[in-house]
Chains A and B, each alone.
Chain A
Amino acid sequence: MQDKIRAKARELLETGTVDCVIGYERATDGLTARPVFIYGTAGVDRLVFDQTCVHNLSKFLLDRRDKRTAIVAKPCDSRAINLLINEGQLARDKVYIIGVVCQGMPEVSWNRVSKEPQERCQRCPQRVPVVYDYLVGEPVEALPVTFSDVEQMENAGPAERRGFWLEQFGRCIRCHACRQACPGCYCSECFVDQLDPTWVGIRKDVTDNEMWNTIRAFHLAGRCISCNECERVCPVSIPLSLLNRKLEKDVGEFFDFQAGIKAETVPPFATFKKDEHLKGVE
């Protein structure tokens, strides 16, 4: 797979189709991968692709909106690219997508690679990128969709749930790494930075942390593409996917909608049906 990616990158840079290839290279631990920006054919051999390439590179495209860029994209990353195109943040013709078939990635952190695939990979509905210009790897079958993790939380009693989440939010240090890593979080002024009025502020207190995490999740309702970058980067291991996936489950159930599958679609909050009867209302 790595050789095909390198060859394609070389071709794209040589022909001037793109000015930059965003992919992965080896990290300083000699074991895992890190994002890399290749600007010329001389750097192409730095590109790697293996089980440690967990990062979602799509957000970097927002730093290069008006430039032609190629990107290595796993299925989850490709959903993010579709989301950004749908929301008018990226022009499809400025992005060349080197799609990679994915069998699932292990838990990867500095100098550590787990033996098991990530939980989210064990239930990923796409193994082949949903959009690409060039495909690397042989297509494999998708896995059945399940929200058993969310259901388990839903079935716990209210006091148990409340205690669980208060404990999680109590640990949040408000570094906002989740927001920075998320391709769906690109607002030029985030609600947490608003001063007039100050909705949340910067105080690292459990009540403010709860506001931060729940509203961020809600701002991603119908938009989160489950790349899990937020949870991966969180330095205090808050199970953010458990929050986002609750909304993903409900959006799927109520509106039969999944984010990132199509680049041309109307998201559920941008529309309504006059006669719909939704649970909990009336």
Chain B
Amino acid sequence: MAVGFEPRVVGFLCNWCSYAGADMAGTSRMSYPPNIRIIRVPCSGRVDPLFVVKAFQMGADGVLIAGCHPGDCHYTEGNYHMRRRFALLQPFLDYVGIEKERFRLEWVSASEGKRFTQVVTSFTEQLRQLGPRKDRELMAAKGVQRAV
């Protein structure tokens, strides 16, 4: 574990459930690690795999997608589609070397402020243990250069 390493987490939160849940955590003055940068989306089903890969490309140490519990989606079925997408994307990113521990899908409802803080805390801690991404070192070892 790198000393003083603070993971940078990007969170895609659906407007109706998980963003509201995060908001509730805030208004209830519950604290959670400030490592997460939240991006509000209308539905977890809006999250395109492109967003996730882009976040990792721009240096995120972890990406969290949070949506309504299955059955409670504000748009009825968005989270079911997200579930399938995630099931394939997580092992695929792991396969290209972005460890599966860096990518999470969680269901957080609007009233689950406490659960939201638990999710962010445990995710951040897990990433802290995992350490920073090793891309720079691996590229140097393989002689891969960035574009001039």
- A residues with CB within 8 A of B: 153-154, 158-159, 161-167, 170, 191, 199, 203-208, 210-211, 214-215, 217-218, 221, 243, 246-247, 250-251, 254-255, 268-269, 272-274, 276, 278-282
CB distance from B91 to the nearest CB of A (A): 6
Partner of B80, one of A210, A243, A274: A274
Q: In the complex the two chains form, is A166's CB within 8 Å of B142's CB?
A: yes
A166-B95 contact given A206-B144, A211-B53, A274-B71, CB 8 Å threshold: no
Shortest Cβ distance from B139 into A: residue:
A166
Minimum-distance CB pairs A-B, first 8 = A162-B97, A170-B144, A278-B87, A272-B80, A205-B147, A167-B142, A161-B97, A163-B138
B24 contacts chain A at the CB level, 8 A cutoff: no
Name B's interface SS. helix
Which residues 70-107 of B have a CB within 8 angstroms of A?
70-71, 77, 80-81, 83-100, 105, 107
Chain B residues near A279: list those with CB within 8 A. Answer: 87, 91
Partner of A269, one of B81, B94, B139, B142: B81
Number of interface residues of B (CB under 8 A): 41
Q: In the complex the two chains form, is B92's CB within 8 Å of A162's CB?
A: no
B50 contacts chain A at the CB level, 8 A cutoff: yes
A71 to B86, CA, bound (A): 38
A153 to B87, CA, bound (A): 19
A47 to B87, CA, bound (A): 46
A281-B86 contact given A162-B138, A167-B144, A215-B49, CB 8 Å threshold: yes
A272 to B127, CA, bound (A): 31
A252 to B112, CA, bound (A): 35
A247 to B84, CA, bound (A): 12
Q: In the complex the two chains form, is B87's CB within 8 Å of A281's CB?
A: yes
Chain B residues near A218: list those with CB within 8 A. Answer: 49, 88-89, 92
Q: In the complex the two chains form, is B77's CB within 8 Å of A165's CB?
A: no
Chain B residues near A164: list those with CB within 8 A. Answer: 97
A162-B134 contact given A221-B88, A250-B92, A279-B87, CB 8 Å threshold: yes
